[in-house]
Amino acid sequence: MIKKVAKHIVQNEPLLFEQSSPGKRGYQLPPLDVPAVDVEKVLGEENVREEIEDFPEVSEFEVLRHFTRLSTWNYAIDLGLYPLGSCTMKYNPRVNELVARTEGLAWAHPYQPEALSQGAMEVIAALEQALVEITGMDAVTLQPAAGAHGEFTGILMIRALLETRGAPRKKILVPDSAHGTNPATAMAVGYRVENIKSNARGMLDLEVLERAVNEDVAGLMITNPNTVGVFEENIKKICAILHDKGALVYMDGANMNALVGVTRPGDFGIDVMHLNLHKTFSTPHGGGGPGAGAVAVAKVLTPFLPGPRLARVGDQWKWNYDLPQSIGRVRAFYGNFGVLVRALAYIMAHGGNGLRQATLDALLNANYIRKLLEPYYEIAYKAPSMHECVFSDDWQAAKGVRTGDIAKRLIDYGFHPYTVSFPLIVRGALMIEPTETESKYELDLFVDAMISIAKEVEQNPELVCAAPHSTRTSRVDEVTAARRPVVRWKPQSSARQAAD
């Protein structure tokens, strides 16, 4: 029985271009207080464009309605549990949105004088300090724009350090359970990638690792807890194996929300790691960005951090550009500052104890779901779960129903699907991460939905395979989209015209 949602009228809406007509306008500029210029004369005739062909012409109210109608076609955390494993979809406190719009911060130009940037620099310093404490590392850079960008920054620093020791070495080890960004990052820094098999408990296999580590290995990229939601219990040993051979350990901090206040990577031997501020520290995902990928390093790597770095001179913050060993900039300016403001506000609202409590609540919620679903779905690994639990669709596959089908059926029950078919080491994975911000009421609704679907698989598998049945848009034809890509609108030529 579907409890969370009921049928509801949804507005149709054409593209903005299809609502345009000449002369409609949604803007008004103040009158010029200086003389107008002759555009052709000032720029040269050849440099002046004709009007922008097919650019929209609509009224202000039409713009508002258009995007409001589109918004109703989205699922969002604000509507309910968003159990995407590894993605950490938690409540985005609105006070963070408010403070990020603080006039003096939001409208600060990155090149305005340092004397007029002390407030912004204080935000960066305070967040760096908080993240140093949370990770147990020695220093933090907030420059990278996203998690993958942070990985790239981290591996560049490893390479720079090894070069000072004589040679950059040749390869990076990556467990087979890793996110795809890890191997892609290693390649971008000029390393070969060697995959390391996981053992039967879903953890890194120590024996395989020991055999793989030699003088050619620059480092290991490890996710902890890993992508099956399991803490690498041998993490200290793992770090020691790498360090013994002069290699370094990079930790993908995608799952740091399972560790905050409970354990610290700096204490168990990690050399460099990134934090996805848009996951652990609740800055909004915004439909796919912006993120921010803070990178924390152990002392040995601090000379290589990207510049500029903050420095305290008297009672003022300064930017220090004199960093002879730095890997250089990874992006313009100082990072996704607006995201940093939100993350700092989140940390302030929680405080040290609150951050630890958030971790424990996240673990509790994940284990609650695991316990209640274990009779209905096969748990992939028996090892204890941290902040997420991973099932396989083995039992349902016998009826011809796969993880992707169950996920689509979940939509009919009013939930966003869990992460489908990842990690790759689990056949037909269902990866579920509730986060700490869900109440027992919402968790129970979700569990009821999953159990109900498991029963449907037994009784009426076709119903599940054809899902979703209740959305405005039914299953989309991704094959045609990829065979004949149409990635922009053109007048009339739109081969697949709106049928609505």
Question: What residues between 197 and 216 interact with another protein by CB under 8 A?
Answer: none
Binder among 250, 281, 304, 334 for another protein (CB under 8 A): 334
> Does 465 engage in binding with another protein (CB under 8 A)?
no
Measured in whole angstroms, the distance separating CA 366 from the mean position of its chain's CA atoms is 19
Q: Dihedral sign, CA of 461, 465, 466, 467?
A: positive
Taking the complex as a whole, how short is the minimal distance between the CB of residue 452 and another protein, in angstroms? 19
User: Phi and psi dihedrals of 359, rounded to 5?
Assistant: -60, -50
Task: List the one residue from 349, 382, 460, 462 that touches another protein (CB under 8 A).
Answer: 349
Q: How far is the CB of 285 from another protein (least distance, A)?
A: 5
DSSP 356-373: HHHHHHHHHHHHHHHHHH
Minimum CB separation of residue 498 from another protein in Å reads: 4
Residue 225, amino acid: P
Residues 12-31 that bind another protein (CB under 8 A): 13, 15-17, 20, 24-27, 29-30
Q: Report the b/e string of 194-223 with b at 16+ CB within 10 A.
A: bebebeeebbbbeebbeebbeeebbbbbbb
Whole-angstrom Cα Rg for the chain: 26
Residues 113-142 that bind another protein (CB under 8 A): 113, 116-120, 122-123, 130, 133-134, 136
Is 147 one of the binding residues for another protein (CB under 8 A)? yes
Measured from the CB of residue 21, what is the shortest distance to another protein in angstroms?
11
- Is residue 323 close enough to count as binding another protein by CB under 8 A? no
* CB of 152 or CB of 396, closer to another protein: 152
Q: Which of 184, 240, 234, 228 lies closest to 202 in space, CA to CA?
A: 228
- Cα dihedral value 337, 341, 346, 347, nearest 10: 90
Q: Interface with another protein includes 11 (CB under 8 A)?
A: no
Bond into 83 cis (ω within 30): no
Chain positions 175 to 194 lying near another protein, rule: CB under 8 A, are: 179-181, 183-190, 193
Near another protein by CB under 8 A: residue from 228, 295, 327, 457:
327
The answer to whether 36 contacts another protein (rule: CB under 8 A) is: yes
Site for another protein in 356-375 (CB under 8 A): 356, 360, 363-365, 367-368, 370-372
| Alpha carbon distance 119, 494 (integer Å) | 50
- Map the footprint of another protein across residues 52-81, applying CB under 8 A: 52-58, 60, 63-64, 66-68, 70-79
141: which strand partners?
295
Convert 367-379 to b/e letters by CB count within 10 Å (16 or more is b).
bbbbebbeebbbb
Give 40 or 458: the residue with its C-beta nearer to another protein: 40
Tell me, by CB under 8 A, how many residues bind another protein.
194
Contact between 108 and another protein (CB under 8 A)? yes
Among 109, 201, 211, 299, which residue interacts with another protein (rule: CB under 8 A)? 109
Q: Which residues pair with 175 in a beta bridge?
A: 196
Residue 165 or residue 459: which is nearer to another protein going by CB?
Answer: 165
